[in-house]
Structure 1
Amino acid sequence: MATVLAGSNDKEKLDDLITRTHKDQAVWFLNAFWEEFGEKEAEKVWSFVHKAIELDEAKRAEGSDLDEFQAHRFLEHFKETLTVQAMRDRLRSTGAIVGTVKRVPLTHILTFKYNVDWHVLVNAPQGSKEEIAKAQKIFEDVQRAFEESAARDAEAAAALSEATSREAEAKQREAEAKRSEEEAKAREADALAAEAEAKAREADALAAEADAKAKEADALAREAEAKSREAAALQAEAEAKQRESEAQSAAEQARQSEEQAKAEEAEARAREDELQAAKAELEAALNELKAQEDAFNGRTAELTRQSEEGSVVQKNRAKNELAQHLSSDPLPLRRAKITQEAAVKKADRAAQVAKAAADKATAARTVAEEARQAADASANQASQARAAAEEASRQASQARAAAEQAAEQATQARHQAEESARQASNARAAAEQAARQASNARSAAEQAAAQATEARAEAEQARARSEEAKAAAEAAVEEARARLAEAEAYLEEAKQRLPKGATWWLERELHERRAYLPASKGGYKKGTH
C-alpha cells in the first residue's frame, strides 16, 4: 500500500504533513523533488533537520515545528535573508497558510526556500508503506543495537580503566602502607627514647625551679628591708629639708628685719640730721634778730647818752636823732624774735625726739643683726643636716635599687626556671603523646598495610571482571556491526523499491551509526568523513 497523507483535499493533506516529525517532513520533501534538486540538496536538508531538532528544546526529534523565535534563529544560522513574516505572506498567497498561525514547520521553510508547489508536494508518491516500515524497523534495530553496544562498550571501557587504575593505586597504596608501617615503627622507637629524655630534663628543670624560688624569696626579703630603710631615710630627708626650709625662711625674715631696721635707723638719723640742721638755721636767724635788737637798743642808749651830754647843739642833734630812731617801729623785730624763739624751741624738741628714735632704731638694728646672724647659723646647720639626709637617702635609694634589681633578676630567674620547667613538662607530655601517637600510628599502619593488601587483591579481581565485561561489550559491538552490514545489504537490495529520498536518508543514518564502530571494524571518527 502506498504512503499517503490524510485529508480530502490538498490543504488537509498539507496540515497532516506539517504535524509529522522534522525528519519525516524532510524525507517526504526529498522523495517529492529528488530528481529536480533533492539529491543535490539532501545534505543541506539533513543539516536543516538536525538544527531544527537542536532548537526544538521541548520535543527534540519528536517535534514537528518551531516557534517564531526559534525559526528566526534557524534562518539566521543558515544565513537566510528571508523573514518569517515574508515567508508566511508568500505561503498565504498560495493558500498554504490560512488565517493566523504561530508555529513554523520545516515544510513551510523548505517550500518557501526552494519555491516549490505545495500541491505537488502533498501528492508526491512516497513508495510502499510496508517497504518503508520494514526498512525503518531494520534501521531502528541497528540503531538500538549500536546504542546498546556503544553504551556497554563505553561502560566496560570506563570500568576496565577505572579497575586498572584502582588496581595500580591499590598496589601503590599497599607499598606505601608497608613503607609507612616500617617508618611508624622507627618513629615509635624514637618517640619512646625522646619520652625518656624529656622526663629526665623535666626532673632537672623542676629542681632548678625550686632553687630559683628559694633565691627569689631571699632577694624579695632583702628588697623589702632595703625599701624600709629607704623609706626611713626619705622621711628623715624630708624632715631635714623641712627644717632647712624653715631655717632659711627664718634667716630670710631676719635679714629682712635687719634691712628694715637699718633702713629705719638711716631714716631716723637722716631726720635727726635734718632737724639739727633746721635748728641751727633757726638759731642763726634768732641770733641775727638778737644782734639787730641789741644794735637798736645800743643806738638808743648811745643817742640817749649824747642827748644828755655835750653842748646844747650836740644834745639837740642827739635828741632829734633819738626821736627819729625811736620813731621807727621795733614791733616786727620783736615779733620775729618771739616767733623765731618759738621755732627754735620746737625744732629743739623735734631734734630730741628724732635723736631718741634714731637711738631706738640703732638698738633695733643691733638686735636684728644678732637675730640674722643666729638665723644664718641655724640655716647653715639645717643645710648641712639636709645634705647629710640627702646623702643617706641617696645611699638608701641605691641600696633599694640594687635590692630591687637583685629581686627582679631573681624573679626573672624564677620565671625562666618556671618556664623551663613548664616547657620541660610540656615537652614530656608532648613526648608521651608523641609516643602514644607513634604507637597508635604503628598499629594503624599495620592495619592499613593489611587493608591495602586486601584492597589490592580485590582490585585485581575487579580488573579481571572488567576485562570480561569489556570482552562482552566488544562482542556486542561486533554483533551491532553485523546487523549494520545486514541493514546495508538489505538497503542495497531494496533501493529499487524505496523512494530515493528515503533511501538516501537511511544510508545517511547508517553511515552515522558507523561512527560507533572501532576503526578496526570499519568505523570512523566524526568530522573526518
Structure 2
Amino acid sequence: MADLDKLKEIGSKKFQEQAIWMLNAMWPKDQGANAEELWNYVELFGSLELENGKEGSDLDELGMHRVFEKIQKQQTMQEMRNHLRKVGVTSFKKISMINFLIFIYGYDLHEVVNAPQGANGAEVEKAKKILEEVTEAFNSAQEKATAAKKAADEAKVKATAAKKVADECQIKQTEATKAAEIAKADEEAAIARQKEAQVAEEEVTKALNEVKAQEQAKEDKRKALQKKIETAGLVAKNAAIQELAKLDNEDDLPLRRAKTTLEAAQRKAAKALKIATEAKEKATATAKAADEAKQAADDAKQKADEAKTQAEQAEAESVSAAEAADQALVEAEQKVAEAEAYLAEQQKKATGAGQGTMWFMQRELDEKKKYMPTRKGGVAKK
C-alpha cells in the first residue's frame, strides 16, 4: 500500500487513535516526552470539531487555522496550505489530525505511516474492555454519589420542615393550654356572677314579699275598720271613721321603706343579671375559642407526626443511598486497581512502539480518576 493510502487510512481514525499512532511512531526517539502534548492536541481538536467532538477525525480549513492560533503559531491561510501540502494534504475541505502532527513535530511521512504499533491486538482489546468497565463503575459511583447527595439534601430539608412544624405545634399547644385556662376562668366567673344574680333575685323576692305583707296588713286593717263602721254602734262607728281617715292619710313609713328596698333590690338584680349574662356569653365564646385552639393543636400535632415520619424516612433513605454510594466507590476502586495492574503489566511487555498505546490508556484511566468522588480517594482535578 502506498504511503498516501496508508496516511489516508490513518487519517480516517478518531483523533485519539491518530495521536496514539503518532506517539508510537515517536516513542523510539523521544520515549514519550511529547505524550502529554499529544493528549492535549486530542482535546483541542475535539473542541473544534463541532459535529462529532473527540469522535471526529478531521477539521475543515478554518478549524485547522484555529489550531495554529491556539498553539501560538499563527499562519496565513496560504502559509498553512503550503506546509500541509508537504505532509500529504491534497484537499483542504477536510484535514486529518495526523497530517498536522507530522508537520508540527517535523517527522518524515514515510516513517510515520510505516511505524510499527507494537501492542498485541488481543491485549489492547482487553485493556479497552477493562477501561470500559472502569467507566461503567465510575458512572455508577457518580450516579450513586449524586443520588446520595440528593437524598441527604432532601433529608436535611425534611428535617428542617419537621422542626418547623414541631415548633408550630408547640406554639399551638401553648395557645390551646392558655385558651383552656382562660375558658375555665371565664366559666368560673360566669358561675360566680350567676350565683350573685340568684342572690339578688332572692333579695327582690324577699323585698317584694315584705311590700305585699305591708300592703296586706294595711288592707286588712282598712277592711276591719270598714266593717266596724257598718256594724258598730254610733260611738264605735265614729271612732272607726276617724281611725280609717287617719289610716288613709298617715305616712306609712314601713311600707315606703319596703318599696324603696324593693326598687333597690330590683336595680341590683337587673345589674347582676346583665353581668351574669355577659359573663356567660364571654365564657361561651372563650370555650369555643378553646375548642378551636385544641383542634388546631391536634391538627398541628398530626402534621408534626407526619413530618417527623417523613424526615425519619428521608434520613433512612439518605443513609441507604450513602451506603450504596460507598459500595459503588469500592467497586470502582477495585476496577481502577485491576486496570492499573493490567496496564502496568502490558507496559512491561510492550515493545518500544507499543508503549504509546499503553501510555494513552493509562492517561485515559488517570483522566477518569479525576472525576471519582474525592471522599473515597481519587485524583483531584487540576
What TM-score results when the alignment is normalised by the length of structure 2?
A: 0.64
| Deviation digits for residues 127-162 of structure 1 (CA, Å, limit 9, x no counterpart) | 222221121111121122112212212222332233
- Counterpart in the other structure of 2:381: 526
Distance 1:23 1:467 in 2: 41
Residues 1:441 and 1:24: Cα distance change in structure 2 (over 3 Å): farther
**Which residue is 1:152 aligned to?**
144
- Relative to structure 1, the CA distance from residue 508 to residue 447 in structure 2 (aligned partners, 3 Å threshold; closer, same or farther) is same
Partners of 1:111 and 1:146 lie apart in 2 by 35
Distance apart, 1:174 and its partner CA = 2.3
How many angstroms apart in 2 are the aligned matches of 1:25 and 1:514? 24
> 1:106: which partner in 2?
97
Give the structure 2 partner of residue 131 of structure 1. 123
Question: Across the two proteins, how many residue pairs are aligned to each other?
Answer: 275
Q: Which one-letter code corresponds to 2:358 in the other structure? A: T
Verify: 1:512 aligned to 2:364, yes or no.
no
- 2:328 corresponds, among 466, 476, 490, to 476
Letter of the 1:72 counterpart: H
Change (3 A) 1:68 1:92: closer
Within a 5 Å distance, the mapping from 1:356-367 to structure 2 comes to none
> What displacement does 1:186 show?
8.3
Residues of 1 paired with 2:49 and 2:290: CA distance? 64
Q: 2:51 aligns with which of 43, 55, 58?
A: 58
SS at match of 1:525: coil
* Contact residue 17 and residue 25 of structure 1 kept, 8 A: yes
Inter-partner Cα distance in structure 1 for 2:76 and 2:38: 19
**Structure 1 position 28, deviation (Å):** 0.9
Computed over aligned residues only, the root mean square deviation of the Cα atoms, in angstroms, reads 3.1
Structure 2 residue corresponding to 1:172, chosen from 163, 166, 170 = 163
Structure 2 counterpart of 1:122, from 105, 108, 113: 113
Given the superposition, is the C-alpha separation of residues 496 and 62 from structure 1 closer, same or farther in structure 2, using an over 3 Å criterion? same
- C-alpha separation in 2, matches of 1:444 and 1:20: 72
- Read off the aligned partner of 1:489 and give its amino acid letter: A
User: Would you say the 8 A contact 1:64–1:106 is kept in 2?
Assistant: yes
Given that 2:369 and 2:378 are in contact with CA atoms closer than 8 Å, whether structure 1 keeps it comes out as yes
Q: Does the CA contact (< 8 Å) of 1:21 and 1:62 recur in 2?
A: yes
Q: Which runs of 5+ in 2 are unaligned?
A: 184-287
Q: Alpha carbons of 1:179 and 1:76: their partners in 2 closer, same or farther (altered >3 Å)?
A: farther
Q: For 1:177-256, what aligned pairs fall within 5 Å after superposition? A: 177-182=168-173, 185=176
**What is the rounded CA distance, in whole Å, between the counterparts of 1:107 and 1:137 in structure 2?**
25
Instruction: Report deviation, 1:456.
Output: 1.6
1:459 aligns with 2:311: yes
Kindly provide the amino acid, as one letter, of the partner of residue 321 in structure 2.
A
Letter in 2 for 1:32: A
Aligned to 1:322: none
Whole-Å separation in 1 of the counterparts to 2:289 and 2:112? 85
SS in 1 for 2:370: helix
Kindly provide the amino acid, as one letter, of the partner of residue 67 in structure 2: F
- The percent of aligned pairs where both chains have the same amino acid is 37
Q: Give the CA deviation at 1:38.
A: 5.9
Rounded Cα–Cα distance in structure 2 between residues aligned with 1:519 and 1:153: 10
Where does the alignment leave 5 or more consecutive residues of structure 1 unmatched? 1-7, 193-435
Change (3 A) 1:174 1:123: same
Aligned AA for 1:480? A
Distance 1:109 1:444, change over 3 A: farther
Higher alpha-carbon Rg: 1
Structure 1 length normalisation: TM-score?
0.47
